[in-house]
């Protein structure tokens, strides 16, 4: 084989090697650093120190504390979801009636509603209308008027009156019952009751008030005392 043929045979290889060589030619230390083929000892030390600072023992300890803190908070949140304590707002005392407490809670939602004769809604209600509306929430049907309600259920002595019972009055000089309310609290001789008054609408009053003490007629129980 002639030398000319050998030259042309190896020419592509020589060109490739030449190009690769040019691609890797470094003319200065600055260019070497720029191309990433040389790192100064100082730079190497800085990177090592930076890496060490990124994850020192204290940092790891802080991370662990944060993890423990988050875990503790998570566990605390989980525990707080399970509240084994009784809800005082809705759980009656052993001597109280659960249904009575729920009746009172719902009746209290009507406080501030204006008085309206024959009304049974939040747009206006009279005394027997408020009682009727409250008991209807629990599917308990009562007669519509206070006079008829006074003939319903069990008549009580004053010492037997409890929360949820109905109290009746003969107001405005009437000779028969014409007003009704529901007992919300009993403090000895005093009875607090929620009702709809003609002047102020739905509100809580007391039999210690001279007007209601004078016009009090009777009290009835219309729900099961052991419910």
CA 115, 173, 152: angle at the middle one, nearest 5? 65
Kindly tell me the sign of the dihedral angle through the C-alpha atoms of 141, 143, 147, 152: negative
Q: Based on the residue annotation, tell me whether 114 is a catalytic residue of this protein.
A: no
- Distance separating the N- and C-terminal Cα atoms of the chain: 117
Which phi and psi angles does 155 have, rounded to 5°?
-75, 140
Q: Which of 22, 114, 127, 158 is catalytic?
A: 127
| 97 contacts 182 by C-beta, under 8 angstroms | no
| 144 contacts 132 by C-beta, under 8 angstroms | yes
Q: Which of 22, 114, 158, 179 is catalytic?
A: 179
Cα(59)–Cα(76) distance, integer angstroms: 25
Q: Based on the residue annotation, tell me whether 158 is a catalytic residue of this protein.
A: no
Cα(102)–Cα(93) distance, integer angstroms: 13
Cβ neighbors of 131 (< 8 A, separation 6 or more) are 142, 146, 149, 166, 180, 181, 182
Q: Based on the residue annotation, tell me whether 179 is a catalytic residue of this protein.
A: yes
Q: What residues are annotated to the active site?
A: 127, 179, 195
């Amino acid at each position: 084989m002639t030398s000319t043929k050998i030259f042309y045979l190896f020419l592509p290889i020589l060109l490739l090697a030449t190009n690769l060589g040019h691609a890797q030619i470094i003319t200065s230390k600055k260019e070497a650093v720029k191309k990433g083929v040389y790192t100064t000892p100082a730079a190497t030390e800085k990177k090592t120190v930076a890496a060490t600072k990124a994850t020192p023992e204290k940092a790891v300890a802080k991370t662990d504390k944060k993890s423990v803190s988050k875990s503790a908070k998570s566990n605390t949140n989980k525990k707080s979801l399970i509240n084994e304590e009784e809800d005082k707002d809705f759980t009656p005392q052993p001597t109280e009636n659960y249904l009575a407490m729920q009746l009172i809670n719902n009746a209290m939602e009507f406080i501030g509603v204006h008085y309206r004769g024959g009304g049974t809604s939040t747009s206006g209600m009279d005394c027997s209308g408020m009682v009727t509306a409250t008991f209807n929430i629990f599917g308990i049907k009562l007669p519509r008027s206070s006079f008829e309600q006074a003939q319903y259920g069990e008549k009580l002595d004053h010492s037997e009156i409890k929360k949820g019972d109905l109290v009746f009055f003969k107001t405005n000089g009437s000779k028969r019952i014409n007003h009704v309310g529901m007992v919300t609290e009993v403090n000895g001789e005093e009875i607090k009751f929620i009702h709809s008054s003609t002047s102020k609408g739905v509100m809580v009053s007391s039999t210690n008030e001279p007007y209601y003490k004078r016009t009090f007629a009777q009290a009835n129980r219309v729900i099961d005392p052991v419910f």
